Amino acid sequence: MDAYTVGVFTNIGLLSFLGLSAYVLLITGELSFGQQAFFGVGAYAAGVGTAMFGLPLVVATAAAMASGALAALVVGLPTLRLRGLYFAMATLAAAEMFRILFELLHWQRDVGGERVGPDGTQGFRGIRWVFEQGIEAAGFLIVVYGVLALLVAALVFVERSRLGATLRAVGEDPEQAASLGIDILRLKLGVVAAAGAVAGLGGALYAHHTTYVEPRNFDIMLGVHGLAYALIGGLGTALGPLLGVVLDIGLLEGSRLFAGYRMIVFGGLVALLLVIRPRGILDERIVHGWRHRAWRPR
Amino acid sequence: MLVDLAQNTLDGLGAGASYAVLALGFTLVFGVLRVVNLAYGPAIMLGAYAATWTSLHVRPGLATLAAITVAGSVVAGAYVERLCFAPHRATGLRPGAAVAAMVASFAVWMQFEEAATLALPNHLYTFPSLTTAAPLPLGPLALRVETLVSLAVAAAICALLWWLLYRARFGIAVRAVTERPTAAALTGIDPAWVSVRVFALASAVGGAAGFLVATTHGQVTPHLGMWTTLKGLLAMMIGGLGSLPGAIAGGVLLGVLEAHSQWYLGPQARDLVAYLLLFSLLALRPRGLLPARHTG
Amino acid sequence: MEAALTRTPIATVGIAALLIALAVAHPAHAQRAQAELACAGTITVHVYDCTVRLSRGGRPLEGARIVVGADMPSMPLAHVVRPVTATPGAIAGEYTFRLALEMSGRWAVKLRVEAPVRDQLIVHYDFSETAASPARR
């Protein structure tokens, strides 16, 4: 693989975390415009961990996931009762608040004779742990996909379990689910936290990939892309959001067929696709079909 | 001290007037279709870009530029309706149709943004200013001409909308579809007919707001699309989803609040305060300040 | 890397990479290089000729191998710019390269120094269709 291909695949892998974060909420029937904030929280937290305090990446990443989950809970708790558009708007407002807080965050430390840490709109430079470990681009690509594979496997496992069925039941008809004795509020908090942790995980890897982050990375455009990836790829399986990213970054950006017109082509494709398949390419019906075929005795 | 307070309120009213008009356009679409059109702002941006492009090649008057902005927004808005909302109305009963339509409108947003940068690739273009006249003295205060014009235009649009919705035949159909969709269908009102016209009307209203914003700021950037959508959404949600009086109240409140927080706390805090207000309102009073009667 | 990818199952390599990442202690900080970037537009739209002056401890950094990439901070992960290698210029510590970007706007130019020291420098720069200027931040 040449450097360009490695770059494209790394971006696909990193954006998949954002798509999966949106997906976890979508299957429970919630639409969030704010997952980019938790991606950002994870990026900053992991950067603080490795660059400012010299923690190993694994520890910093765990801290980033916890921070992402915590931030998501802070947003989720006061908005638990909200649904649909109201929840979406609340997450959007919260995410923009986080972005502005990143702009106001100045916290630097002297590390090896250099000031390191978040510096407001100037961003947070020198998140060089991966670089300084001598992990090359291809090696980091493997790390990204290793973590992504674990995450997808975990999501698939959860979806096939009783919990997965409960989540989808809540997503389809919350009133009916509640009447069956499901504690919707508790479930929703759990899902909000999990989606925050997934975004935080992606953010931690992102920060170490670029070696610098800045507040403008985490504006609403990034979040809506994550949302769109999940919805295009399909809500039937955790592989759906990955397919969504591959279509945009892999097929359109990677192929360079539509250089300069990529957004126009992708935008038109998405709008048309959603007419044919409102719940994405790999929607519940298709995935259901697969399972039946797989289980049919020979 | 008190003069600052009054002056900020006055300036805020001017900005708030544009926000109110933006929110009115947003609310019209939401009231009828129960969907959020994320491409609302980008369509307005495209209209403003069409006017900017014209002003770069010929030197038309401000009235012509305003007309081009409105016309451009209407054309772009009609495109959004056809591609993103009309196909999903047919499947309106299926859960998730509104979400699919909203995401589709985001996809079109990306198209508009790229189309704008292809037509005018620089990051920033100057837009002819409304006036170079000095602010009018008003006791110890200074009344900017832009503020006066914004308020007048906003008042005129409110009056026009009120007449259209509550006095004209068109309005009866719109309100029937909004408030009693089943009854409207039974009396033979075609929702598709209403939808297209409401979209065109909303885009025209938004285009007028877009012109006010562009000429007051004296510049346009591709960022205008996101800016317009966010301000319109904020004002609409603060006032109460789907409520026209709420849209006006939300817009004015947002404008005044922004002016004060910018003065006392700085530009970053200005946006922070606006989002904090929206977030707290949603958490405490989700239906907004002046809720619509028939929010479903 | 290619060979490793084809021979070993990816999961094994991934876990190994994670373990290595976990095991290694954090490194000492060597003195960082400094970069001064100057880019100018060419007759081709979105193609720029750039010169970078590298120094370390106030002295020109000679004989460096630099691989240049770029990201767009407002659209994270959306663009991948094909990396180019810089060639030594007329003056000691000066290197030139030609950068082909996908669109106008603010880019973060990534200078990856591979020899004689390993370093990575990020310089923000504003690019329009045919011109370029340092980012005012």
B185–A contact, CB cutoff 8 A: no
A166–C contact, CB cutoff 8 A: no
3-state secondary structure of C23: helix
pLDDT band at residue A269 under the 50/70/90 scheme: confident
Query: What's residue C20's pLDDT?
Result: 54
A108, pLDDT greater than 80: yes
Average pLDDT over residues B233-254: 90
A8–B contact, CB cutoff 8 A: no
A270, pLDDT greater than 90: no
Average pLDDT over residues B1-30: 91
Angle between helices C10-23 and A137-160 (to 10 degrees): 110
Query: What's residue C85's pLDDT?
Result: 94
For all residues of chain B together, what is the average pLDDT? 88
N-terminal to C-terminal alpha carbon distance within chain C: 39
In chain A, what residues touch C71 (CB-CB under 8 Å)? 210
In chain A, what residues touch B103 (CB-CB under 8 Å)? 227-228, 231-232, 270, 274
C24, pLDDT greater than 50: no
Tell me how close the Cα of B133 comes to any Cα of chain C, in angstroms.
Answer: 32
CA-nearest of B246, B242, B273, B277 to B260 is B273
3-state secondary structure of C38: strand
> Cβ–Cβ of C128/B117 closer than 8 Å?
no
B97–A contact, CB cutoff 8 A: yes
Q: In sequence order, what are the residues at sequence separation of 6 or more whose Cβ sits closer than 8 angstroms to the Cβ of residue B59?
A: none
Query: What's residue B139's pLDDT?
Result: 83
A86–B contact, CB cutoff 8 A: yes
Query: What's residue C6's pLDDT?
Result: 43
A270–B contact, CB cutoff 8 A: yes
For chain C, which chains pass the contact test of at least 3 CB pairs under 8 Å? A, B
Residue C14: which of A130, A143, A211 has the nearest Cβ?
A: A143
pLDDT band at residue B174 under the 50/70/90 scheme: confident
**Bond prior to B291 in cis (omega within 30° of 0):** no
Tell me how close the Cα of B118 comes to any Cα of chain C, in angstroms.
Answer: 10
Is residue B25 within 8 Å of B195, Cβ to Cβ? no
A83–B contact, CB cutoff 8 A: no
pLDDT band at residue B170 under the 50/70/90 scheme: confident
User: How crowded is residue C105: how many other Cβ atoms within 10 Å of its Cβ?
Assistant: 17
Query: What's residue A153's pLDDT?
Result: 96
pLDDT band at residue B228 under the 50/70/90 scheme: very high
pLDDT band at residue C15 under the 50/70/90 scheme: low
Residue A263: which of B83, B100, B111 has the nearest Cβ?
A: B111
- H helix or E strand, kind and range, residue B271: helix B267-284
N-terminal to C-terminal alpha carbon distance within chain B: 45
pLDDT band at residue A106 under the 50/70/90 scheme: very high
Give C76-133 pLDDT, tens digit per residue. Answer: 998 888 899 999 998 999 999 999 998 888 999 999 998 788 888 999 999 988 889 9
Give A243-255 pLDDT, tens digit per residue. Answer: 999 988 877 776 6
For an interface test with A, the pick among B35, B103, B112, B238 (most A C-beta atoms closer than 10 Å) comes out as B103
Tell me how close the Cα of C134 comes to any Cα of chain B, in angstroms.
Answer: 15
Tell me how close the Cα of C80 comes to any Cα of chain A, in angstroms.
Answer: 6
Query: What's residue A77's pLDDT?
Result: 95
Residue B275: which of A93, A261, A274 has the nearest Cβ?
A: A93
Higher pLDDT, A221 or A190: A190
Higher pLDDT, A15 or B292: A15
Which tokens in the block code for residue A29?
A: 């029937």
pLDDT band at residue C10 under the 50/70/90 scheme: low
Query: What's residue A296's pLDDT?
Result: 54
pLDDT band at residue B32 under the 50/70/90 scheme: confident
Most confident range, picked from A85-89, A96-100, A232-236, B245-249: A96-100
C45, pLDDT greater than 90: no
C1, pLDDT greater than 50: no
Instruction: Give ipTM to 2 decimals.
Output: 0.90
**Bond prior to C116 in cis (omega within 30° of 0):** yes
> Cβ–Cβ of C14/A57 closer than 8 Å?
no
Give B184-215 pLDDT, tens digit per residue. Answer: 878 888 878 888 889 999 999 999 999 999 99
Which tokens in the block code for residue A92?
A: 């959007």
